[in-house]
Amino acid sequence: MADTDRPQLYLLTPPEFELSAFPARLAAVLDAHEAACVRLTMATRDEDRLSRAADAVREVAHARDVACVIEAHVGLVERLGLDGVHLTDAARSVRKIRETLGKDAIVGAFCGASRHDGITAGEAGADYVAFGPVGQSSLGDGTLADRDLFEWWSQMIEVPVVAEGNLDVGLVTALAPVTDFLAVGEEIWRAEDPARALADLLAPLG
């Protein structure tokens, strides 16, 4: 990816949200900012709740020609008319899921900070590889996906790369030249005006 290219926005839903209010908040953000994809990342394991949330998010996204994928729940993709799945087990299930969903579905893989897992996922048929978290957090084991990883990837590997996890203005500035997508979620949803919070976060992109 050339240094002059602006990374695309990859929007993540919050892990919990009120179905009565969130679609309107999502719509407001998508009306204010061009996004490539929306990922449903709900923490619940309740199939009915997930299905209703996916229907609502898909409707908002597709009305704006934005792709909609779900995290982990492969079985819901075709049933709910989603565009694909974001896998959280690095490269382990990419090949199998690609065979299940077919060549037209989006299959993405989160690979932590592992260059090896990213390469393996790409070779197995992933449409993109996500690395993170890129920002400091007390969660997980503290391992960060640093700028060097994204810089190496953007120079050596053709599979698109996503930067995610605790982004701030400084990280957006640093990573913009070396990533294809910036994944933004909880960084903005806690704000009263998520669209404004996203504008502030992405200000370095001009």
pTM here is 0.95
What is the CB neighbour count within 10 angstroms for residue 64? 13
**For the chain, percent helix, then strand, then coil, each to nearest 5?**
40, 20, 40
Distance separating alpha carbons of residues 206 and 192, to the nearest angstrom: 23
Ordered by where they begin, the domains of the chain are 8-85+138-205 (3.20.20.70)
pLDDT of residue 40: 98
pLDDT of residue 1: 31
Q: Are 10 and 182 in contact (CB under 8 A)?
A: yes
- Of the candidates 201, 146, 191, the residue with the CA atom closest to the CA atom of residue 9: 201
Distance separating alpha carbons of residues 96 and 53, to the nearest angstrom: 26
pLDDT of residue 200: 98
The tokens of 84 are what?
């694909």
Which residues of the chain have a pLDDT value below 70? 1-4
The tokens of 11 are what?
């929007």
pLDDT tens, residue by residue, 41-66:
999 999 999 999 999 999 999 999 99
pLDDT of residue 2: 35
